[in-house]
Structure formats: C-alpha cells, structure tokens
Amino acid sequence: MEQENIWDAETAQRYDTPGSGMFAPEVLEPAVDRLARLAGQGAALEFAIGTGRVAVPLAERGVAVTGIELSLPMVERLRTKVDEATIPVIIGDMATAVAPGEYSLVYLVYNTISNLLTQAEQVACFRNAARHLVPGGRFVVELWVPELRRLPPGQTATVWCSEPGYIGLDTYDTLRQHVVSHHFRFDGDGAEEAQLFRSPHRYVWPAELDLMAQLAGFELEARHADWAGAEFTAESRSHVSVYRIPPSP
C-alpha cells in the first residue's frame, strides 16, 4: 500500500465532507484559530496539505500558506477552491521536499505524520520542518495516542467504531509499530457489499515524538488534548503538540 495509490483520484473525490466530519465547523474552527495565532505575522507551511481542508480557511484569515503534498489528485481538488498564487503547493514528500521561503509555522495535522511508515522518515520529517522555520518558529503536530491498552494479549485487531453503515477496525503489527486502519462503508441496511478504504500507519507515542523533535533541534512548548487547549491527560485520545526552535539569543 503506497501513499500515492491510497490518495488516488477516487479518494480525493470523496475526501471533502463540507460542514460535517473533519470539515464540521466545531472541528475545523478551533484548529484554524490556533494555527492563525501561532503563525502571527509570518507565513505558514502545511505538510501534506491535501485538499486544503485547513489551509483554505487559514489563508482566508490572511495567513500566507504554502503546502507540500504527495498526491496530485488531492492537489487537483484543492485547485477547485484556490489558485496556485493564493496557496502554492510543492509536489513531493514532506520528509524531504523543500518549499521556497521562510516560515514562522509548519503544521502537520490529522494524524498524517503516521503516514510515514518508518522512524527514519518521521525523524527526517521533523528535520525538514526545522529546515523551513525561522528562529523561534513552531512545528505543530496533531496525532492520536496509540490505543494499545485496548488490545488484549494475543489479539491483533480492535473495532473502534461500529454504527449503521460504517465499521472501523485497526489491525496491529506491534513488532514494527504499524497499524492498518480499515474503514468499511455499507450503502444502506442489508447491503451485502461494503466499500473498503485501508490506510497503513506507523503509530508513535508522544514521548517518541518528543525525542524526534529534540533530534531536529526543537523544544516542546505546549501539548493539549485538542485545538481549544483542553488539558492533556493519561486518558487523552489525541494531542496537539507545539514544538519550537529556540529563538536566536
């Protein structure tokens, strides 16, 4: 399962769900508010910009946003909303691709650092973020907390959502620190066939993420359980972590 094959034209076509799911105002607005505050007067760079779910409203707030993205079909969807002059995008791998300019903020949201399937690539991604930032600049990562406590001994899969028309389950390879998310969608009651979307991830604990950040020259500035600033606790299922390059002395 290569990322280019996963984020194909069909996936790009049904990615946007205006007003609901990850596009619901209560999900999106706190994220855009926080990112706009963190960017300040500087420019922002989104790693894995996708169809511009976050970048488009952030640019509408007056922040200069550039993107890096692997999938051409996802960028084609973005181009139905904004042109290249408004949000330029570099096609490439966020672990290595370079965008012109300097940024006060680089951000990587919606669990997407886990799309890099090795520790080496994830470390390279932190280093690539650092490369783009001015002194004092920030790298924001939104990521779920691995749910290994749900996995009884001997079991390698968990169902994390089961509702009419949808089943979500994860299969684990704990040796390689990999999880494959399976999303089954059924078109109505009694349907015999389901649509399946699968995505592979390398799950990362917050502590490992912090070490990757340290290797790239960052300090952890803040960690919250959500974009609105809820306290991060042992029960938190996700986190928004803000890493900072120390300002010049």
Ligand X SMILES: C[S@@+](CC[C@H](N)C(=O)[O-])C[C@H]1O[C@@H](n2cnc3c(N)ncnc32)[C@H](O)[C@@H]1O
Interface with ligand X by CB under 6 A: which range of 32-40, 42-50, 155-163, 204-212? 42-50
Sheet with 44-47, strands from edge to edge, namely 89-91, 65-69, 44-47, 103-108, 133-144, 238-244, 219-224
Which residue type, as a one-letter code, is found at position 114? S
Cα–Cα distance, 70 to 3 (Å, whole number): 8
Q: How many residues line the site for ligand X (CB under 6 A)?
A: 20
- The reply on whether position 68 binds ligand X by CB under 6 A is yes
Closest CB 143 distance from ligand X, rounded Å: 12
Q: Which is nearer to ligand X, 151 or 182 (CB)?
A: 182
DSSP 247: P
Q: Which of 78, 93, 123, 212 binds ligand X (CB under 6 A)?
A: 93
Closest CB 121 distance from ligand X, rounded Å: 7
Torsional sign, CA 5, 175, 181, 12: negative
Cα–Cα distance, 62 to 32 (Å, whole number): 11
Closest CB 142 distance from ligand X, rounded Å: 8
| Closest residue to ligand X: CB criterion | 50
Q: Which residues contact 159 (CB under 8 A, 6 or more apart)?
A: 167, 168, 169
Cα–Cα distance, 218 to 135 (Å, whole number): 10
- The reply on whether position 128 binds ligand X by CB under 6 A is no
Interface with ligand X by CB under 6 A: which range of 89-97, 126-134, 163-171, 172-180? 89-97
Q: Which of 66, 71, 122, 241 binds ligand X (CB under 6 A)?
A: 71
Q: What is the binding site for ligand X (CB under 6 A)?
A: 3, 7, 48-50, 53-54, 68-71, 74, 93-95, 109-110, 112, 115-116
